[in-house]
Chains A and B, each alone.
Chain A
Amino acid sequence: MSNFFAMGGYATYVWSAWGLTAVVMGLNLLLPLRQCRKLRKELE
């Protein structure tokens, strides 16, 4: 298990890359959703 997190010594790089990917994709998903919600609220 700790091997998995260590990523053969490259932990910082691999996890930063995947983490950044998660953040970017998350923001891509959440920001438009929030925009939609806000605009819909204005209509009501």
Chain B
Amino acid sequence: MSLIKEYWHKLSSAKHFYPIAGALLPWLLIPALIMLAWASWQGLVVAPADYQQGDSYRIIFVHVPAAWLSMMAYMIMAVNGVIYLVWKIKLADIVAASAAPIGASFTFLALATGSLWGKPMWGAWWVWDARLTSELVLLFLYLGTIALRGAIDDRQRAGRAAGLLGLIGAINIPIIHFSVEWWETLHQPATVSKFGAPSMHPSMLVPLLVMAIAFTLFFFAVLMIKIRAGILEQERHSRWLAALYSDSGTSSISPAATGNSIEQDESK
């Protein structure tokens, strides 16, 4: 049990997570790129055109994963925000702050690709369909959290405020989603403008799932990079970081190296 505790303690320390993030990175990024390439080829070339929508349905392969990622990123942001709020673990704040802009960009992507899909299908660049409208509200939630974090000067305060806001947002997302679906059925009398997903043949479903996994791996890869950047920024005055990067070329008996091994874990 204490082994788990010790492991957990190490993992939540920026100093220990920094190299772990770096080590994980290639294992996330390379499979992601391979799967992206394969799924793109499958989606754009191999999968047959849809009976009703022709080739325009191929946008689904980027639209749906982007939408799924936008949700997942928000959950990661919200959970880490709460961890920071309650347990004051600084790394959690870095993770939350890193996940937010990535998630927001995927939300924007989901909306833009949704529009590009909608125009040939429904003739309009924007339809007030439940899913798109929910996604739009999600974008506002993201932008609000990012803006709040940016508008508060004190870093700790900003992290805690963003954490509380993320929690409130996360609780509200299912409610908002439900209310928007409710709203759609309210005001659409006969014609249902649902975002028609074509009935999924395996030749379409498999690339879609692979694409979703690829997007997820890619998200985590990019998150690792951003977390490292966040750690670099937060810890730039600490000794362990200085030792790590000014060590290049100097011998191991330099004061920086010895200082590194006996110092306390001050980066928590």
**A interface residue numbers (CB < 8 A to B):** 4, 7-10, 13-14, 16-18, 20-21, 24-25, 27-29, 32-33, 35-36, 39-40, 42-44
* 5 A/B residue pairs, CB under 8 Å, sorted by A: A13-B117, A14-B116, A17-B62, A28-B102, A42-B236
| B112 close to A (CB within 8 Å) | yes
* Interface bits B34-75 vs A (CB < 8 Å: 1, else 0): 000000100011000100001110110011001000000000
CB neighbours (8 Å) of A14 from chain B are 44, 55-56, 58-59, 116
Chain B min CB distance to A2 (Å): 13
A42→B236 CA distance, assembly (Å) = 9
Residues of A within 8 A of B44 (CB): 4, 14, 18
Determine whether the beta carbon of A40 is less than 8 Å from that of B58: no
* Contact status of A13 and B222, CB under 8 A, knowing A24-B109, A28-B102: no
Q: How many A-B residue pairs have CB under 8 A?
A: 90
A15 → B minimal CB distance (Å): 9
User: Who on chain A is nearest to B22 by CB?
Assistant: A36
Q: B133: which A residues are within 8 A, CB to CB? A: none
Inter-chain contact A7/B225, CB cutoff 8 Å: no
- Cα distance A13–B58 in the bound complex, in angstroms: 10
Knowing A17-B113, A18-B44, A43-B245 touch, does A8 contact B66 (C-beta < 8 A)?
no
Per DSSP, chain A at the interface is helix
Q: Are B222 and A21 in contact (CB under 8 A)?
A: no
Q: Is the CB of A8 within 8 A of B229?
A: no
Which of B58, B62, B98 sits near A7, CB closer than 8 Å? B58
| A11 nearest CB neighbor, chain B only | B55
Q: How far is the CA of A2 from the CA of B248 in the complex (A)?
A: 53
Residue of B nearest to A40 (CB): B245
Does B245 lie within 8 Å of A10, measured CB to CB? no
A32-B226, A39-B233 known; A44 vs B245 contact (CB < 8 Å): yes
Residue ranges of B at the interface with A (Cβ–Cβ < 8 Å): 40, 44-45, 49, 54-56, 58-59, 62-63, 66, 98, 102, 105-106, 108-109, 112-113, 116-117, 119-120, 218, 221-222, 225-226, 228-229, 232-233, 236, 241-242, 245-246, 248
Q: Indicate whether A36 sits within 8 Å of B232 (C-beta atoms), given known contacts A10-B54, A17-B62.
A: yes
Task: Let me know if B113 and A36 touch, CB within 8 A.
Answer: no
Closest 7 CB pairs of A and B: A8-B55, A10-B56, A39-B232, A7-B55, A32-B225, A8-B54, A32-B226
Nearest B residue (CB) for A34: B229
